A and B are shown apart, each in its own frame.
Chain A
């Protein structure tokens, strides 16, 4: 085992050296790492912008930036975080790296297409940023860029939507790759109910990506058709229906919300049993709930539009469907908690992040019900309550699952361990900061403070000051976490093949893995979370 060179030392295709070995690689692991650095870059940038936004709101009136800069900054923060961090984060990095390994195979089904997806991601990211700063002035529509009927600003809306489409295309191709890999490259001995839950979650996500992304491309086609051929589709001046644009936008963007969260749930489903040394409670229930969320989540888009003009019947149906999504989500949460019950829990940084995920995501999910119900939504829509809610789900949920995945698989990806003490301090600081940052926003929202507001009335001053302090703590915690991980490259404490006692296939191969992942045909367990062998050895 020790003599087998890792994928770092074995370029694919063979013969490539230096930077070419990375930029032209077909190896899913190298691509996973290329996504990692690109995603971390965008995340760090959007994080700094987020901190500046919160500092601006720390006091009433102008604090550090003008209103125009503030509008641009929150648009940039949202666009980068959603399209360049949260959507691709877990599937593109950890999915690319671990899905083939968890399936007992050597690569994804379309390795070249995988490389193309990475280039599309980079291209889409650059295009999004360029489009936001070209064609007359800074952007200010927020990440939903309700185009082309946004208030008369002159920025480059079709190009921005096009960038979103390119990014969607990138994730769609990745999804297509994952689906085909699961079907056709899965180890022949692995049945459907032997697939690890992380891979199951990626499989469910991939279907959403493949089916929902075309909607945004069709929308883009229609916008262009309207402009070039003068057909009235969305523009009311030409007999079109602007609400149709909203429907089509959310038909993609709401399922995209589940593209964001499902892989995070998959990560937690791996971490919880590993550190509980116990088979996960309700394996099949979690599998079916992943598919259930993927299906039901694709049918609830219009809950973003309760106040945009819909019939009462439509509002009732969408409200009901939204409530239905809560059922498979709750199945997962209860399964995780039940797995922990009476388990031999071993605390570790990944588990701590996963536990924090469960708590924060539950709060995010429950407050989502407040917004999903048409009645209360009328009162709190467009307020800071919404801001707090989606940060609890997207950041407290996907963000913390991403951090958990980083800490869980870091030793496998790089073959080195990080400092646990600093990791615990960072997790604690991040969580405390998170709570002080976002809980006041719930209260501010209920008090009526609007979202996207540059300034506010005196009654909101206390909550905003508190949120700013929380924001600083949060930023410090994340910075410490990233620095701690990066410092592991300096200390280079070698990681064993199975540092956590995991029983899925990635823990049976060397750290970091060799080029084709496995040295021989892997043995597939009858049940993917059977810890009998691990416990016997320990």
Chain B
């Protein structure tokens, strides 16, 4: 009986301790800012390695949500005067390109991980689309200012090949540009990215649908399933900003196998110890005692 009471009290104590926790965790109130302030310099430190500051979410945004990688700006317009270079090295302005519904995909072409999936997913969505290929345009934008039209020209055939020989040449352009233009465009669509020391980037995976006037209509997340992309294109054709469909925000980031290995080793040892101790404890506890007798009604 005494043991039961102790167990009950311990559980209650545990629950009360845990209850006090989310207030700390979510960083509410004046005290909560401490954690966010801590987070900002860390992010700035990374961003400081050779990349433009404006692409980071502002401290104000971070204070609301430290993981604001995509800030939806549906209804806003992108600056049409921005100029980039296409895969043939020609200077093109957004005004020239945005003459029909647009699917804008920010990536970097020399990405060793997720960008190739994003580009392939976009190619697949275009292939399955019920819209005519000349009724919209796909734009891949490299946010790495060091990438050149030559790199874009090397990468483009890999994905356009998935769309067949008849796919019009200008229906999918691969842009590169200077850091200023990149910053203005990615900021305009609320897309954040961060350069790492080794030259790779951490960035979310998001496709932005624009109407023929450059207005942001919708964001598409996940692996760009054809239904989502088709709906976004239909809405972009109508020109009415629409609410995005909530999907998991996928990331493209450089993996660190060594760090993962260390974590896994700790996890293995921890789980092993816990299992052995738990197993011994349960075996002792679950053994029937002579006092375990039920009562009966008179």
Contacts and interface: CB of A to CB of B under 8 A. Distances in A.
Mutual binders A and B: yes
Contact of B225 (A104, A236, A383): A383
Given A146-B248, A308-B248, A450-B245, A382 B65 contact: no
B242 A455 contact: yes
B276 interface: no
A228 B202 contact: no
Interface residues of A, number: 82
Contacts of A347: none
A266 B253 CA distance: 45
B247 A382 contact: yes
Contacts of A71: 243, 246
Contacts of A141: 246
B-side interface size class: 35 or more
Given A179-B286, A184-B286, A112 B5 contact: yes
Given A179-B286, A242-B251, A152 B243 contact: no
A179 B27 CA distance: 38
A160 B110 CA distance: 38
Contacts, number: 204
Contacts of B277: none
A318 interface: no
Interface string B205-233: 00000000000000101110111101100
Given A180-B286, A238-B42, A515-B297, A228 B24 contact: yes
Nearest to A103: B294
A235 B204 CA distance: 11
B246 to A, nearest CB: 5
B4 A449 contact: no
Contact of A148 (B67, B70, B128, B295): B67
Interface string B40-69: 001100100000000000000100111111
A452 B244 CA distance: 10
Nearest to A458: B234
Contact of A230 (B39, B227, B231, B235): B39
Contacts of B18: 162, 165-166, 169
A516 B294 contact: yes
B70 A152 contact: yes
A372 interface: no
Contacts of A144: 248
A110 interface: yes
Which A-B residue pairs are the 6 nearest by beta carbons? A67-B243, A152-B68, A450-B227, A236-B253, A183-B286, A106-B294
Given A154-B65, A224-B21, 20 more contacts: A4-B297, A68-B243, A71-B243, A106-B296, A110-B4, A116-B12, A116-B15, A135-B28, A151-B219, A151-B221, A158-B22, A162-B21, A183-B287, A184-B292, A309-B250, A382-B225, A450-B245, A454-B242, A454-B243, A517-B297
